[in-house]
Every structure is written in structure tokens, then in C-alpha cells.
Structure 1
């Protein structure tokens, strides 16, 4: 029997860890850390740092190479095949390092519930007949880190918030019946497809990290600045994780801050 613990570790700052997360890490027999290639070495380095900071017992830490997603295949098919391959990689590491069962922990950026597929990949193992229990320790999401960094509320009074992706924003435009949109996984700055008058944006990259960057203002005023800053940061670090909030004018307006702590 494998007792799988999925632990939300926030957005890169070790201070984001809850006491429950630290306890779960120390209770594990094994923590698996995925490597994603040289271009994202900061991500594995952060996980290593977190483990070094909080582990005080006999928990083993093992790194493994994460399979690549096929960029040539249609998106949904590519993601499905990628998740299958990751599940196989997990299964191989479990067989190698926990052949007699035990407590396995996986560290998840942000929280496992929000635009992360770790839970779905774990379900593949259970559907495959693997004897497994599963528990989740929630973490600070990039959305929480964004609103905290800008010191703004997520919603307007009594109004809904839509959480979506850049892909869907580009394909479908502004969602109906929403005055606030949180946009994740946007590699192409899909806000460029919107009619900007009356829209405010709060953008953040590398939230919680030393090179955190923030820009806010009316979309008319700061869209080009965000695009240029994002490109410069991606070139410097080889990768970027960013998120932004869009809001139509309802009496709450953004104050332009310009980029903060760019690390350039």
C-alpha cells in the first residue's frame, strides 16, 4: 500500500509552507522531485532548497526526469498522453524506491486543486489497480499570491470571478456574466485580443520569489509594458510562471505600479 501525500508548497517562497505541509514532508518515507530540464533548473533548485530547509528526519529525496509533452500533437491529446507517461514514471520510481509500500510525498506548486494535474495523474495509478490512499495538504495558490502582492480583493461586492486560461480567453473572449477574470497558463498574452477601454489588469510573475515582478494599471496603459517585461524575464531565466487579474470598471481601479524587483 502506498500512502500518497500531495503537498501544496506555494509559489516558490519557503515561507509559504504551512505547518501541516512541513509535518507531512517529515512523515514521508520518500519525496519525489521531478526534473524538467536545464531551462527550468530554478524550479528543481527551489524544491531542493525547501527540502533542505524543512526535513529533519530520515525522509529520502529522489529526483527523476519528467517526460516531455509532445508539442506537435493536438493540445488535449498531447496533455492526455503526457499524463499517461508521467503516471508510468511515478509507478517506476515507486517500484524502485518503495517496493514494499510506504508513505510517498509529491510537492505541488501552489495548490493541487488549481490548474494542476497531479490529482488526475494519481487517479490513473489507482485506476490501474495500484493500492493507494491519497491525502492533500493545501497550499497558497498563485492567485492568492497575486492578489496579496497587489493588495487587492479578488472580487467586487457580490460579483462572481471566472478563473480561466489564456487559451480559452483567446478563443472565447471575455466570459459572460463576469466582471473579474483570473487568467492562468497564458504563454501568448491573450489580453491583447480584448478591447482594452474600461479594463484594469494586475499582473505578476515569479510570485513570492526573489525576482518577483508586478505591473498594474489600465490595460490601455500597461499592456505593452507587460509584454516587454515578460519577454525580458523569460529570456533571462529561461522560463516564466505568471498570472494576471482582469477587471472591468466597477468603481475599483488599478494604480499603475510599474515592474517591481525584476531581477534584470
Structure 2
């Protein structure tokens, strides 16, 4: 694996994390996952806007002020021989003294890696899980390094025989899945949970909202019961149809609407 770490190109196994790194010890940091295809990063502006907003919320210096992301990723893909890649930018708060208080002066650490782009599944099944997303949680609204809730939700879903977890917020409203935003078509209209339901503002979600008429709101799980189509979205897989929820058929086995797919091409 080719790695870019704080301005240096490193080989497989050469990148190291200091023992006092706050991202390692406390999950104090952020990440972005981007899709590289056709010689460019898809929806790069949206990813950069979200990263800047999250850096401001977490009071971290944004690495985009000192690096040229496109140039780094382009060189990384060339070094790795990848025409399509899953790019991960990981930003940690860097080294700091022991304890919760972050040093007033500190330089965040930025790590960028590339991996072969995984093939998107033709469809996916969801399972309701016991974990609930807090509407007041920073980790629900930003892609923080504190991702344990998502990992635990996925484990519970897999044990239930599903591929992904369906999550509600603490008020019982639909929120999304462990790694994707949720959409459905009902009565000819397109719906998605509002950001107030502990929803991560996904870049594919934003593209759909910008290009189509979508009703956002607080919805209970029964909103999916008679949906004509249910699908999930994220940066790597685009939009994928949901064919089952808790083992029962979902979305009348309908594919992702053509109008949505056309927006994402």
C-alpha cells in the first residue's frame, strides 16, 4: 500500500502513529472516504466542504489549507496502478499531553491512503438493531474517528443475517444505516430522514437533494412498510437497492429509480 503521511510518501508498513496521538487514544479526529474514478475525485467539492465544516466544529486546522488533494490522490493512484480507488483521508488531532484537554498549540496529522474500489452490491438487506443514534451526538453529525457505534451496529446486523444495520434516532425516527444514507419512494414521492434525526450529511445525499424534489422529515419505521423502492447511498457504492428489512421483502423489490442513477453518473 502506498501511503501519504504529513507530506511524505511511505511504503507499506512504514507509516507509524505516535503513542500519544489523540486520534489513536481518544478518537479525536475526522475522516473522509472519496471515490476516485476516471482520473478524478467524484464530488470532491462536496467532500471538501463537509471536511471544512467538520474541522470547524471540532476546532481542528483543516489540511486542505496546506495540501493539494487532487494532486496527491492522482499521484497516489498512479503509484498504486489504480484506475478506480477508494481514497481515505484521515485527520487526527495529533500528539498531545495525557487527558481530555487538547493542547492549545498542536499540528493535526493527515494520512491519505488508496485501496482498490470495491464492487458495489447489486442489492442489500437491512436489519433493525438495538443501538440508537443520539440527536445531540457530534459523532452522528460528523465523520469522526469515534466510529464504534457504527461498527457495533454492523456486527449486530450481520448476526441477524443482514448486510447492513438500519438505525433509528433516540426519538424512534428513521436515521439511516451504519454507513449510508436512507431513501425511499412512496406514492410516487422521494423521502429521506432530515438531518435533525442524527443523520450524517452524505455527499451523495446532497447530490440527490440538489437535483430532485425530496421530502425531508421525521419518519417512523412504518414509513418503509409500503414503499415502492428503498435504497441506500454513500460515496463509494453510489445508490444500492434494499430488497429486505429484517428478513421481509422491502421496496416491492424495485430498483433504484433511474432519475437517481442519472444524477450519480
Q: Same fold (TM over 0.5)?
A: no
Instruction: Tell me which of the two structures has the higher relative contact order, counting C-alpha pairs closer than 8 angstroms and 6 or more residues apart.
Output: 1
TM-score normalised to structure 2 length: 0.29
Higher strand share: 2
The structure where helix makes up a greater share of residues is 1
